[in-house]
Structure 1
Amino acid sequence: MSERSNSPTIGVEEEFLLVDPRTGRLRMENAAVGAEAKRMGIDLQPELGACQVETATGVCRSGDDLLRELISLRSGLAEAARRRECRPVAVGVPVAGPSVQEVSDVPRYQAMERQFGILARQHGICGCHVHVAVPDRDAAIQVGNRLRPWLPSLLALTANSPIHYGADTGCASWRSILWRRWPATGPPPVFADAHEYDRVVMSMIDCGAILDERMVYWDVRPSGRYPTVEIRVSDVPATADETVMLAQLVQGLVVTALRDAVEGRPATEVPGPQLEAAYWRAAHDGLEGLGVDPFSTRCVPARVLVEKMIESIEDALEENGTRTAVVAGLRKRIAEGSGARRQREALRRACTVTDVVVDAAERTMQGCSVAPPIGGSAPRVGEFAPPVGESGGEPVGSIEMPAPAPPTV
């Protein structure tokens, strides 16, 4: 079934790390890579860490449109990085060092470093943010209230950060664990409306917990600039295909939540401790392990919870014309493994963390047009060599994205 033109529009932001194409270590080159991209007509945004960049699609009306944009952006980023002898990698946390990074030379980020210290210098985490058009900010709040139970399942599905500075953390999404050190992260509270949301945000600014509204990092939030709701619970997916599946799934969740709100069906209330348990299990186990059913608190296979989530929005997926693609994408992930599983398999195969980086870099460019890195052909698994003396082990800025059109649901 083809996608319907009356489905709410979507847009996606992806964050990437810049690494040395030979050692796999982080490169603090986002300003230089951004300048190269600008000369190519591509708008990249620096992130908090100088080793990070973010891409943003325009307004997309179908999965095909989104995939084309994502591939174009990843290809353009790779070329800009190549010109600065870097390589972009779609992983949730740095696989190799250094463990302390430079903060981007952006006034707001410098202010964050002054206030939050080592948190800013050890950030380096990469997520994926999906924007879906909604009628207004109150609608975005109602969506957030209704998506809370499903956020752990989205996290488990996209877990892509088990290896951090050369060590297996034991968690499928170490990014999620690190992210929770910041204020205003994790699942959003339940709000009555946008007015209450604004009041709570202002109180956090007034007491100095956050610098500004853009530091509200809850996993669902109304956009501050676009007529969208932003879902930001996920690790950056390893491939563009996985990002498209995530966006279509999120689109279905938002359509279902909007319909439930309009028809007066109340949001399912999940107590905070139950939701936190589900979050922790999702971050720890990912797609391949167990998850906590937020409605019953029972442990069940995480993939069963993802299937249950898809079943709950089946009508919306059918109406959007995306059900077949979403189900096929899930089956592929179960068969091939999550990003976390694939990183661990790369580490077991080659036994060096640098091989994990190059494997992830190759997956980042899957389906993209990429020139070889400066200085030779693109390295393959096993070609990275850690610097002498090492054993091989070792938030968020402004994105200019056109406003999606209001949804028709």
Structure 2
Amino acid sequence: ALSSNSPFWAGRFTGLKSYRTVVWKPFPRSGIPEIFPAWRDFDAYVQALIKSGSIDNGKKIWWDIRPHPFFNTVEFRVFDMPGSIDNTMAIVALCQALVAKLTRLNNVGLWTPLLSNHFIEENKWHAMRFGLDAEVIDYAQVRRLGMRESISELLDFVDDVVDDLGSRTEINYLRAVLEDQHGTGADQQIAIYRETGNIDDVIKFLMRETMKGIPTEDVDVVRAM
């Protein structure tokens, strides 16, 4: 929901805040992964795919989140394409904070509830359809709440690791997005289209957002290409 930025497809308004999620859905080995109890279980799955000729390496697994097969990292792939550098850095900071917080909990023998993929898929649908205006279900506590409230609680959850990571500015950026009626790229695109009725105006907005923060001399080089 925070990264939703593709309400249009082939020049037409889709009614979804993140149509890119729909485009990715038919791809094999995509979406929400099953739970692997340990690294060896994940590695056994990858090796089985390689030996059977389905893939040539683990990078051909395109789940929303996955262990990187070659680096000692967790790769987040669930997001839509951010439209600006600031938005990109803020989302990266949230991912980093999540990993740091969960690692800290794990180190002291604590954990968060594990949910069925069916529940996660339900909330994912609402996120890609309605973005920050969605209502989602907290299945751990069996309650329904707005997406903005849900994300705000997530930001509170990671707050105690943010300063150690040096990402307070980026997390505050996300809090500002939650407070803005047109906070996401999708919301901004839709607002422009409703005002002008011209998809070209949406494209120009996306270009400005992409170039924001880039040194002027680099912008001139791009324009000359």
Q: TM-score, normalised by structure 2?
A: 0.88
Q: Deviations over 1:222-258 (max 9, x none)?
A: 2233332211211121110111111111111000111
Deviation at 1:209, TM superposition (A): 4.7
2:223 to 373, 377, 389: 373
Unaligned runs of 5+ in 1: 1-155, 376-409
- 1:238 is paired with a residue of what secondary structure? coil
Are 2:133 and 2:147, in contact at CA under 8 Å, matched by a contact in 1?
yes
Residues 352 and 301 from structure 1, CA distance in 2 versus in 1: closer, same or farther, beyond 3 angstroms?
Answer: same
Work out the percentage of aligned pairs sharing the same amino acid: 28
Partner Cα separation in structure 2 for residue 350 and residue 222 of structure 1: 44
Aligned equivalents of 1:181 and 1:297: distance in 2? 30
Residue 204 in structure 1 maps to residue 62 in structure 2: no
Match of residue 38, structure 2, among 193, 197, 200: 193
Equivalent in the alignment of 1:360: 206
List per-residue Cα deviations over 1:88-138 (Å, max 9, x = no partner): xxxxxxxxxxxxxxxxxxxxxxxxxxxxxxxxxxxxxxxxxxxxxxxxxxx
Q: Does the C-alpha gap of structure 1 residues 209 and 290 become closer, same or farther in structure 2, counting only changes over 3 Å?
A: farther
Q: Where does 1:3-402 land on structure 2 (aligned, <5 Å)?
A: 156-207=1-52, 209-296=54-141, 298-332=143-177, 334-335=179-180, 336-368=182-214, 369=216, 370-371=219-220, 373-374=223-224
Q: Secondary structure at the match of 2:109?
A: coil
Q: What are the Cα deviations for residues 290-344 of structure 1, in whole angstroms up to 9, with x where unaligned?
A: 2333434543211111101111112111332333541243214532420110111
DSSP 3-state at the match of 2:212? coil
**RMSD of aligned residue pairs (Cα, Å):** 2.1
The question of whether the paired residues in 1 share the 8 Å contact of 2:177 and 2:184 is answered with: no
The superposition leaves residues 360-383 of structure 1 with CA deviations (integer Å, 9 ceiling, x where unpaired) of: 1111111213117349xxxxxxxx
Distance of 1:223 and 1:302 partners within structure 2: 29
Measure how far apart 1:202 and its partner are: 2.5
| 1:267 shift after superposition | 4.3
Contact map agreement 1:184 1:218 (CA 8 A) in 2: yes
Structure-2 change in CA distance of 1:187 and 1:278 (3 Å): same
The aligned length equals: 220
Q: Relative to 1, partners in 2 of residues 1:286 and 1:208: Cα closer, same or farther, differing over 3 Å? A: farther
Native 8 Å contact 1:161 1:174 kept in 2: yes
Q: Give the Å deviation of 1:266.
A: 3.6
1:43-77: CA deviations, max 9, x gaps?
xxxxxxxxxxxxxxxxxxxxxxxxxxxxxxxxxxx
Aligned-pair distance for 1:207? 4.7
In structure 2, the CA distance between the partners of 1:236 and 1:297, relative to structure 1 (3 Å rule), is farther
Task: Please list the CA deviations of residues 189-237 of structure 1 after superposition, one character each: whole Å capped at 9, or x if unmatched.
Answer: 2111111001112233445554531111112222233332211211121
Q: TM-score, length-normalised on structure 1?
A: 0.50
Q: Which segment is superposed worse, 308-317 or 291-300? A: 291-300
